Structure 1
């Protein structure tokens, strides 16, 4: 054994101990390598191409309210996990257990009640990392809970959507949440309280077809995918080529489905401005 072969394991060992695995982040658009800490500080917006990456629910609430101390987390009543005892290649209960361990959260959302400048707000942020942000009974229950807080305290409701749609593992119960959440946000609006919907990447399926598009004011982040069915499915159905920007937030704005596209760094200021106008 020569000196080189004896030193390689030592070099590898020292390198693995001194360099954390999550030091770098590769932008999903420009594919440049960026320090993860820079992405965190910049609200998960690429510092090179300005691409808005998907954001974890808790980090979104912290960024929105300004700090951890500016809001209190609300936990809705817990429901039974597996209403239809679903199983495919693995059981639904196993998928939930794995997602909870990976994401360190109970389901695909977090609710925060706090101050935005001088205005009290209840905000719910969805998390795509948890089973694609899919909507099951837990999310429906959380939106109803957030709406009840909004009505009881007469404070605006803000929902940040990021979802692939209804959670298939809950069958018809997941589809029922479309009606349930629609009624919940309608009650907020009927009480004369602003409901502000923010469409983040992606907002699709049953979420897009229910509460996400019913805001008193509907905002969207730049470049977010917003639509119901997939582009390829629609093209095959109608037999026509669709525009390149089809189902982007910019396309939805151009066609009147979104009121304004707002950069993530300005979303709190814009929502506070809207609340001041509407109250």
Structure 2
């Protein structure tokens, strides 16, 4: 046995061997193909730094980006009846719910929170597309009603981020009934004289578009977001014509009067703060408007002595 062969050489090889790089350090842009470092991408709110392509962002990350300091308090949402139709296709609906909850860590496809945005009290509801495609369920209906009631109680605006493929088929007519139900919730806000602002993200389609997603006092969309009711292929087959380029994309809808603004995600908070304060008849937001730092007692006495000397 040679100690150089058995000990020294393996030790040297282990020190200079190539280390494996974790797969989750880099993300490839779906649009331009650029490899983006995960921290740089997260700091830019999942917007490609090369081509400005807006990638998917989690519901909680969305809330952190909107509220001041990323601080918010969740609003409780009543739990609906679980699997009311005892639906089953390839899997039981109850099993699909369990899988989605395990995957996302959320109860369902809508998160509701309250807090300050630009030092202005707001309630924010965010649809989570990663939870069964953000499909509109009884829970989502309960969440929007709870968000509207909380906004009315606080006398503050409601901001809703939509992202869905439509109603949840596993709940049948009960899922579809959330369309008129959420419309009534929006009407409650209007009767209370409170702003309701909708931010349409990619994708927003089906019954969601046909109800609460298109009822905002101000309609904003993220760039290139897919927004529509029926799919483009279905529409082409129905009317027998070729649809124009960019049909159902945010920029096309803006040009045709269905949206008020198309705003980059990195600029969205500032724009929402401006709109909210305008609609609430508050003073314009002030950059750097932060509370004065606390001064220790010794430091305050020194400052006072300096002022007296002057």
TM-score range, shorter chain: over 0.9
Name the counterpart of 1:150: 151
Distance 2:233 2:54 in 1: 23
Unpaired stretches in structure 1, ≥5 consecutive residues: 1-6
Give the aligned length: 267
Name the counterpart of 1:126: 127
Kindly indicate whether the alpha-carbon contact (under 8 Å) linking 2:221 and 2:259 is maintained by their aligned counterparts in 1.
yes
**1:79: Cα distance to partner?**
1.6
Name the counterpart of 2:213: 212
Name the counterpart of 2:42: 40
Name the counterpart of 1:224: 225
Please say which structure displays the higher CA radius of gyration: 2
Q: Deviations over 1:149-170 (max 9, x none)?
A: 0111110000000111100010
Q: Which has the higher strand share?
A: 1
Distance 1:23 1:243 in 2: 39
**1:33: Cα distance to partner?**
1.6
Q: Deviations over 1:175-230 (max 9, x none)?
A: 00001011101110121100000000001001011000000111111110000000
Kindly indicate whether the alpha-carbon contact (under 8 Å) linking 2:199 and 2:221 is maintained by their aligned counterparts in 1.
yes
| Higher RCO structure (Cα 8 Å, ≥6 apart) | 1
Name the counterpart of 1:20: 22
Alignment of 1:172-211 (within 5 A): 172-211=173-212
Distance 1:225 1:32 in 2: 22
Name the counterpart of 2:67: 65
Name the counterpart of 2:52: 50
Given the alignment of the two structures, is residue 85 of structure 1 paired with residue 77 of structure 2, yes or no? no
**1:68: Cα distance to partner?**
3.1
SS at match of 1:49: coil
**1:54: Cα distance to partner?**
1.4
**1:18: Cα distance to partner?**
4.7
Q: Deviations over 1:86-128 (max 9, x none)?
A: 0000111111111111111111121110001121000011111
**1:246: Cα distance to partner?**
0.1
Name the counterpart of 2:6: none
SS at match of 2:55: coil
Name the counterpart of 1:117: 118
Distance 1:182 1:67 in 2: 32
Distance 1:165 1:137 in 2: 13
Kindly indicate whether the alpha-carbon contact (under 8 Å) linking 2:198 and 2:216 is maintained by their aligned counterparts in 1.
yes
SS at match of 2:216: coil
Compared with structure 1, are the counterparts of its residues 66 and 39 closer, same or farther at alpha carbon in structure 2 (3 Å cutoff)? farther
Distance 1:127 1:22 in 2: 22
**1:278: Cα distance to partner?**
1.1
Kindly indicate whether the alpha-carbon contact (under 8 Å) linking 2:68 and 2:116 is maintained by their aligned counterparts in 1.
no
Distance 2:39 2:206 in 1: 33
When normalised by structure 2's length, the TM-score is 0.83
Name the counterpart of 1:171: 172
Distance 1:265 1:30 in 2: 19
SS at match of 1:138: helix
Find runs of 4+ consecutive structure 1 residues off by over 3 angstroms: none
SS at match of 1:147: helix
